[in-house]
Amino acid sequence: MLAPIIGAVLIVALAVVLIGRTSDGLEKLENISEQEHQTGKTLSDIANQLAVTHAYIHDLLASVDAETKEGELYDESKKLLFDIHDIRDKIEADLITAELVPDEHALATNLLGLLESYRINATNALLMATVDAALTRRVMSDATTQFNILNSSLLELSRLIDERLDKNLATQQTAMLAQVGVFAGLFIAVVIAMLLIGVFLARILTRDLRGLAADLEGLLDHYSPDVSTDGKRRLVVDTLRYAVDRVGDSYTSLERTREELARSNTELRESFATLAEREYALEKVNTELAETVARQDDLIQAQVRAEEARDSALQTAERANAAKSDFLSNMSHELRTPLNAIIGFADMIYAASFGPIGSKYQEYARDISLSGHHLLDLVTDILDISRVEAGKLELNWERVDLQEIFDACETMLRNRAADAGIQLEIELPDVVPHLETDEFRIRQILINLIDNALKFSPRDSVIRVSAARHDDGRLTLSVRDSGIGIAEEDIPRILEKFGQVRNSHQHTHGGVGLGLAITKLLVELLDGEMAISSEVGHGTTVSITFPEHRTFFPPGRGASYC
Ligand code: ADP
């Protein structure tokens, strides 16, 4: 399929080139002929004009006789001048400016000199014709000689130019013929090649058909020997037609396949374009991701720096806190010694240990002792808090019988409860557990809580101090009153140092708001947890729960549960 197309394209290309070259050559030939024609015309014009002028002068001179007056031919000589000028212009404009080779150019230029000499002699002859006949004849004879030379020069020039242009013409024609020959050769070669390829293709294409025809004829001969030769031929021809149709079908299907392939190719290109777009978008996302990661790195570094700064600030604060606790601990200790002395001496004065004193002084001594105790309690609380915060509070772990602890607390606070008109009830399970704890501190905790309950409970109310064991082995001690209660939002505050609820009772009961803070710290030191549940106007319950591993039961005695 491809070979005939290439052949056709080659033939067309060759034809185009051949036509182009031929028209070029013809144009050149035309140019040369035109040039030859123009130059020949110019030369013959010049020769004619010169001949006319020369003949006219001759006639004028011949007409001169005795009656011709001097100067009569002056005007004619001026006219001659114009004619000669005209001829000279023609030589200069049409001849010398033409494309001449050096020899021709020299000859053409020489014509001008000859023409001038001719003009001078002819003019002189005209001017002297009435004056000196003999001289006129001689001068005119010179002019005639020059006229002849001019004519033969013009002829020579014409011959040279003709010769040159003829030679050019011949060369151009030969070149053209050669080109036409070459292209014709090529053309014939391509046509022959095409014919050969056509024959070759025809042989290939018809090989199978010819084989098929032979096979069919063989089969028909074998199976239907009776069928006439014409009948066989018809059958073979029909079969071959069928085969050709099938080939046509195959060609159509091939065409369809080719179209599908072209479509697939287009789709493939579109897919490539889409892929390229996606790749570009992906690169963009990657870049953005890298930028985000870089920003996150910056953030992480800033966070690390902030954490370092916070740690260092924390250490500084912890150091400052430890220094403060040290200071408070030392100061409290320094204060307690003289305070104890003051209280001791005040009590001695009050008791009139060294002889009787006036009742007023006795009253003052009691005030000094009470204020001293108050101050001592405060200093003791501050000392305890600073010791706990400085981690310097030493605990004396031992197994403690809760019964004993509860009894001691009751003994200590019984009188105060009685003074306040409040009933103090102790509730312990039948089997009282033992607690692994610091006896002094657990007592301090319970006294603090009972003391608060006494402070904020009304007369004729009951305060219950109880212990109960949970199923999981934990132990809870609680102090419950039915006093003024604490609002829920105030509970976190009263657990802080110096935290108090602002109400009228506060003024009555004094205190500085350290009791619950110390109690909570001590409970936690003893592995316990403190919780406050309260309702304003109905009372407060403070519970302390210790883990199972801190509780024990004396051997041989069962447990009781809350
Ligand atoms: P304070 O020395 O002032 O009693 P606390 O820390 O022991 O210091 O108590 C802080 C505040 O908590 C008290 O001033 C009081 O307002 C409140 N509070 C403590 N216990 C009770 C209670 N049982 N009933 C009502 N209010 C209480």
Written in H, E and C, the secondary structure of 136-155 is: HHHHHHHHHHHHHHHHHHHH
User: Taking CB atoms and a 6 Å cutoff, what residues make up the pocket around ligand 1?
Assistant: 452-453, 456, 481, 483-484, 486, 494, 500-501, 506, 511-517, 540
Residue 526's CB is within 10 A of a number of other CB atoms, namely 19
E-assigned strand segments in 450-528: 462-469, 475-480
In the prediction, which pLDDT does 3 show? 59
Mean pLDDT to the nearest integer, 244-265:
81
* Separation of alpha carbons 477 and 543, rounded Å: 6
Q: How far is CA 130 from CA 5, 9, 127, 249, 462, in A?
A: 91, 85, 7, 112, 187
Give the pair of three-digit tokens for residue 513. Answer: 């708001």
Q: Is the pLDDT of residue 60 over 60?
A: yes
- In the predicted structure, residue 510 carries a pLDDT above the cut 80: no
Average pLDDT over residues 88-111: 83
**Residue 457 pLDDT exceeds 90:** yes
Task: Give the C-alpha distances (Å, rounded to integers) separating 109 from 37, 80, 252, 450.
Answer: 21, 21, 80, 154
Residue 200 pLDDT level (bands cut at 50, 70, 90) = confident
- Distance from residue 456's CA to the centre of ligand 1 (Å): 8
Q: What is the chain's Cα-based Rg?
A: 74
| pLDDT for residue 439 | 95
**Taking residues 418-429, what's their average pLDDT?**
94
- Can you say whether residue 513 is alpha, beta or left, with left for phi > 0 and alpha for psi between -120 and 50 degrees? left
pLDDT at residue number 555: 63
Q: What is the pLDDT of residues 140-158, one digit of tens each?
A: 899 999 899 989 988 888 8
Residue 404 CA, ligand 1 centroid: distance in Å = 26
| pLDDT at res. 18 | 66
Strands laid side by side in the 434-438 sheet = 397-401, 434-438, 551-552
* Spacing, Cα 511 to ligand 1 middle (Å): 8
d(CA 522, CA 496): 13
Tell the residue nearest (CA) to atom 11 of ligand 1: 500
The per-residue pLDDT for range 259-314, each reduced to its tens digit, is 888 888 888 888 888 888 888 988 998 889 899 899 999 999 999 999 999 999 99
Name the least confident of 47-61, 205-219, 370-384, 483-497.
Answer: 205-219
Compute the distance between CA of residue 254 and CA of residue 251 in angstroms, rounded to an integer.
5
pTM of the model: 0.46
- CA 341–ligand 1 middle distance (angstroms): 30
What is the signed CA dihedral for 232, 237, 239, 243, rounded to 10 degrees? 160
CA distance 312 to 318: 10
Give the pLDDT band (50/70/90) at residue 548.
very high
Looking at the predicted structure, is the pLDDT value of residue 162 above 80?
A: yes
pLDDT for position 488: 93
293 CA → ligand 1 middle, Å: 55
Q: Kindly report, residue by residue over 261-272, the tens digit of the pLDDT.
A: 888 888 888 888
> Looking at ligand 1, which residue's alpha carbon is closest to its atom 13?
500
Helix extents (H) in 351-438: 359-389, 402-420
Chain segment 426-454, per-residue pLDDT in tens: 999 888 889 999 999 999 999 999 999 99
Query: What per-residue confidence (pLDDT) applies to 125?
Result: 85
- Helices 102-128 and 74-90: crossing angle in degrees, nearest 10, is 170
Nearest to 83 by CA among 113, 48, 111: 48
Instruction: Dump pLDDT digits (tens) for 333-360.
Output: 788 888 899 999 999 999 988 888 888 9
pLDDT of residue 561: 43
What is the Cα–Cα distance from 409 to 433, expressed in whole angstroms?
17
Given the CA of residue 452, which atom of ligand 1 is nearest to it? 20
In this structure, are strands 462-469 and 423-427 parallel, antiparallel, or unpaired? parallel
Place of tokens 């306040």: 420
Of the candidates 425, 444, 424, 432, the one whose C-alpha atom is nearest the C-alpha of residue 400 is: 432
User: What percentage of the chain has pLDDT greater than the value 90?
Assistant: 31
Tokens linked to 247: 């080939």
**Cα 246 to Cα 242: distance, rounded to the nearest angstrom:** 6
Pocket of ligand 1, candidates 486, 541, 543: which has the most ligand atoms within 8 Å of its Cβ, to mutate?
A: 486
What's the full length of the chain, in residues? 562
Residue 448 contacts residue 519 (beta carbons within 8 Å): yes
